[in-house]
Every structure is written in structure tokens, then in C-alpha cells.
Amino acid sequence: MEGRTMTQPSSRPTAQILVGAAVTLTALGLAAGALKIPGEAGYGGVGPNFLPWVVSIVLFICGVLIVREALTGGFRDMGEPSGGERAWWPGLVWVSAGLLANAALITTIGFILSCTLCYLLAVQGLRRAQGQPSGAGTLAVDAITGAAISAPVFWMFTQFLAINLPGLTNTGWI
């Protein structure tokens, strides 16, 4: 492991235990919310509570594993953190703009386009925070990637799970 700086595990990994506990508690909160969602199966054979249960179970497992790792010596073989000493606020503005644009435009331009825009703006903020170049080529790649992620999600929810998401047309495909 040449060229990497390793940090020694903390003798008191309190922060690491707290992160694991927070993840576990979040999973329990999601599970409590999933209990309130009706479970009758839809068109795809699963009900609307299926995905919240999957997410809460996986998140719970991750939280327990994080706590176990912290209790057995902490996170080992961690490299030095990347990034600057302080937060880069313009990056936060880019990511926040993406989330707010998604919330504001989802009913107007539909799920796919609003999520693509959210992805594009968030990735631009992250790219700029890392000092990566941003031009027309990266914008195009980010837009295509955002559409490639959001379109299948939209289709899975609308076509297979019969959950209505805002679309650009009434066909259920865009």
C-alpha cells in the first residue's frame, strides 16, 4: 500500500460509533414509517411498502456493521481525507440549487427532466469543489448520465410498480 498515508485507529472511536448508531436509528425510523404504508400488492406483485422495507433493512445492516467496526478497533486503513480544510460554499449552492430546482419543476417538466437537472447541478457543484474542469463536454456527459439514471427509475415506478410520478406527457413513458 505504497504512497497512501494511513491513519491509526482511534483509541476512542466515539464519533464512529455515533455515526453507526445514527444510521441504525435512521433505519429504525424508516421501518416505523414503512409500517404505516399499506402493503397490498400492485401491478408488479409488490406493494408500495416494499421499497421502504428494503431500504430500511439494508440501512439497518449497514448501521450495525459500522458500529461493529467501530467497536472492534475503529475504521482501519483509512487514507487522509480529501478536500480542503474548510467547506467550499459555492459547491453547497450548486447542490442546493439542484435540489430546489427538482422540487420546483417536477410537476411542470416531469420527473425525468427535473431529476436530470438536479443531477446535473449537483455533479457540477461536486466537480467544481474538487477543482475539476467544467465545460460543454462535462455538461453533456452529466446530462446524459442524469437521464440514464432517472428514466429507468421513472419507468420502474410508473410501469412496474404502478406508482404515479409526474411525467411530461400522459403516456407514462416520459
pLDDT digits (tens, 9 = 90+) for 86-104: 777 888 898 999 999 998 9
- Which of these, 126, 51, 130, 46, lies nearest to 92 by C-alpha position? 126
Same domain, yes or no, for 93 and 156? yes
- Which of these, 99, 113, 120, lies nearest to 153 by C-alpha position? 113
128 occurs within a structural domain: yes
> Domain limits at 32?
14-71
pLDDT digits (tens, 9 = 90+) for 3-55: 444 445 445 578 889 999 999 999 999 999 988 888 776 666 677 788 889 99
Cβ neighbours of residue 103 under 8 Å, at least 6 residues apart? none
Same domain, yes or no, for 57 and 117? no
Calpha distance 27→57 (Å, rounded): 7
In a 3-state reduction of DSSP, which class is residue 7?
strand
Same domain, yes or no, for 149 and 97? yes
Name the domain count of the chain. Answer: 2
Same domain, yes or no, for 36 and 96? no
118 occurs within a structural domain: yes
Same domain, yes or no, for 147 and 109? yes
81 occurs within a structural domain: no
Calpha distance 20→38 (Å, rounded): 29
82 occurs within a structural domain: no
Cα atoms in the 13 Å half-sphere on the side-chain side of 145? 13
The predicted model scores a pTM of 0.56
Same domain, yes or no, for 66 and 94? no
